[in-house]
Amino acid sequence: MSAGFFIACGAFAAAAYLIGGINAAIVISKLKYGQDIRTLGSGNPGFTNFKRVYGLNGWAVFVMLSDIIKAAVPVCIAMIVFGEIFGMGQFGAAFTGLFAMIGHCFPVWYGFKGGKAFMTGFGTIWFVDWRMTLIAMAVFLILLGITKYMSVSSCVSSVTCPIALALLGADSAAVIIVSVLSALLVVVRHRENFRKLLNGTESKFTFKKKEEKF
User: For the segment 12-64, what is each residue's pLDDT rounded down to a tens digit?
Assistant: 999 999 999 999 999 999 999 999 999 999 899 999 999 989 998 999 999 99
pTM for the whole thing?
0.92
CA distance 128 to 82: 12
Q: State the CB neighbour count (10 A cutoff) for residue 141.
A: 12
pLDDT interval class at 211 (50, 70, 90): very low
CA distance 120 to 66: 9
CA distance 195 to 80: 41
pLDDT interval class at 204 (50, 70, 90): confident
Cβ–Cβ under 8 Å, residues 105 and 99: no
CA distance 25 to 37: 7
Cβ–Cβ under 8 Å, residues 124 and 79: no
Q: State the CB neighbour count (10 A cutoff) for residue 4.
A: 10
DSSP SS3 for 187: helix
pLDDT digits (tens, 9 = 90+) for 120-174: 999 999 999 999 999 999 999 999 999 999 999 999 999 999 999 999 999 999 9
